[in-house]
Amino acid sequence: MTEHFEPEIVAFCCHYCAYGAADLAGSMRLNYPANVKIVKLPCTGKVDIIYLLKAFEDGADGAYVAGCLEGNCHFIDGNIKAKRRVARAKKLLDEIGIGGERLEMFNMSASMGPRFAEVAREMTERVRGLGPSPLRK
């Protein structure tokens, strides 16, 4: 089953950077896995722990938050807040038994289309290696 496992991954992307990077990746005709479903946010500072938990509760095998490079947040420090919330959510996922490694925080700018594709591949590979979420077993 693992061999054919295609993970469902939710990417919470900031409007000012990662979402733009995704767009650029598309314009550049870069390939990245179709496993990644993007949720656009006005800033990763909008990410709440409950969003991350709900992604898993509703069946995601993995999730990540992609915000601006540190120091470049359009709202000063939304990405730093997101980083801390991701850290706490990872702990909760560990406690629950899902595993914190299924969640990650990334930073990129809007011009980093190739990096967006790379991150999408990296997370897809990581979660594929981990197998389906324990909730889907």
Partner 1 sequence: MIIAEQKPIQEIKAMIAGYQKVLIVGCDTCVTICMAGGRKEVGIIASCLRMALQIDRKKPQLIEDCIQRQCEWEFVDTLKDKVDGVDAILSSACGVGVQALAERFPNKPVYPALNTTFMGMPNEHGLWVENCRGCGNCGLGRFGGICPIARCSKGLLNGPCGGSQNGKCEVSKEMDCGWQLIYGRLKTLNQLDQLEDILLPKDWSTDRDKGQRKMFRGDVYYEQTV
Closest to partner 1 by CB, 15 or 83: 83
The reply to whether 131 sits near partner 1 by the rule CB under 8 A is no
String marking each residue 49-68 x if it binds partner 1 according to CB under 8 A? xx--xx-xx-----------
Stretch that binds partner 1, among 1-9, 31-39, 96-104, 119-127 (CB under 8 A): 96-104
Among 38, 39, 80, 92, binds partner 1 (CB under 8 A): 92
DSSP string, the chain: -GGG----EEEEEETTTHHHHHHHHHHTT----TTEEEEEES-GGG--HHHHHHHHHTT-SEEEEEEPPTT-BTTBSHHHHHHHHHHHHHHHHHHHTS-GGGEEEEE--TT-HHHHHHHHHHHHHHHHHH-S-GGG-
The reply to whether 3 sits near partner 1 by the rule CB under 8 A is no
The reply to whether 95 sits near partner 1 by the rule CB under 8 A is yes
